[in-house]
Structure 1
């Protein structure tokens, strides 16, 4: 209502010519909402018609009033003693309503505006919350489905908007609606909220989906403990089986000649560098970091 009165005041202040003034000239709305247009003129009139694309949907006669051709269309009269102003309303707009909206007043030039109807779909982050080892990376996938036109997908991590160069997005059209996928790579430094946003211009507030990226500071040690445990079990089995079996004797001799040590590595499922392990609680009492002797003793000493 306030915008209509502001328009009337502006037109009155600047002076309205005999040519009708149609505003706004471009309207973008979401499917299922209302689209509104205003026609204003300063001279008396007796006949007004509104058309959606090529279809006559409503007429107004100054003597007999409004003739509705479809209940989806309506008008409101905001005229005063100095200016004539009517608001044209399209209810429950559809995608196929997009196009020209025209108003004709008697023999005066027809005024035309454009209506654009968009659709808001859904957005979700696939898989829910993610746990990642500190310093490692996680890939977060967001899906935006059933949008028109192609939605704008963006990311917010810990309340900060992510630069567009930090994620990859792609879209495809299916049955005139767009589906988009966006992949974001996040490095696990601290536990943070990760939010995916999807929007089109008609949406005042983007739709969003969020998860939590949980950084587990002990996560990297668990696979190493498992690996160490498997090595200990194998070595104990080797000793319990005795050195009489040819394969066991060969293995022990090979160890002795080449001084085989525990393998090195720095991956999540590899043995840590040097001989540093997280020993089991039965060995240190607390599961603290320790230095393990090289084979064959395989003893554990707290650091």
Structure 2
């Protein structure tokens, strides 16, 4: 019986690996923490392997920018994007213009149909005080 359990476990491990490999894309490197002055701009990068369909950028739990392979979907002019390809990987850069004290908090890059995400924090300084 013990050998049968090992065989089932080994099969499950292989299938899990194939399922993860089959998704075809992942966040290679998430955004880094940033500290900026109020009124300036903040930039966050997320490096993704090929095969993605939709990248979502969220600020404090609210999606503020979505990126498709063809174009960004901009819903607020304060949140724009740039994109680059480096060595076969895609880099999505979210730019927050005219950063406000209320923008301080969690920044998240995530992929559609994936539980993979990259998280960073935005700190905003006004008059030498960090928020």
**TM-score over 0.5 for the pair:** yes
Matched, 1:22 2:22: no
1:39 & 1:29 partners in 2: Cα distance? 18
| Cross-structure match for 1:110 | 117
Provide the residue aligned with 2:75 in structure 1.
Answer: 69
Provide the residue aligned with 1:85 in structure 2: 91
Once superposed, which parts of structure 1, at least 4 consecutive aligned residues long, lie more than 4 Å away?
none
TM-score by length of 2: 0.73
1:37 aligns with 2:44: yes
Distance 1:93 1:43 in 2: 31
**What pairs up with 1:271-286 in 2 under 5 angstroms?**
none
Equivalent position of 2:100 in the other structure: 94
Deviation at residue 43 of structure 1 after TM alignment:
2.6
Q: 5 Å matches for 1:1-303? A: 18-20=25-27, 21-24=29-32, 26-63=33-70, 65-80=71-86, 82-108=88-114, 109-120=116-127, 147-149=128-130
User: Match of 1:92, SS?
Assistant: coil
The Cα shift of 1:54 comes to 1.7
Measured in 1, the distance between the counterparts of 2:48 and 2:74 equals: 22
Segments of structure 1 that go 5 or more residues without pairing to the other structure are 1-16, 121-146, 150-175, 177-303
Aligned-residue Cα RMSD (Å) equals: 2.0
* SS state at 1:79 partner: strand
Q: Name stretches of at least 5 consecutive residues in structure 2 with no aligned partner.
A: 1-23
Q: Tell me which of the two structures has the higher relative contact order, counting C-alpha pairs closer than 8 angstroms and 6 or more residues apart.
A: 2
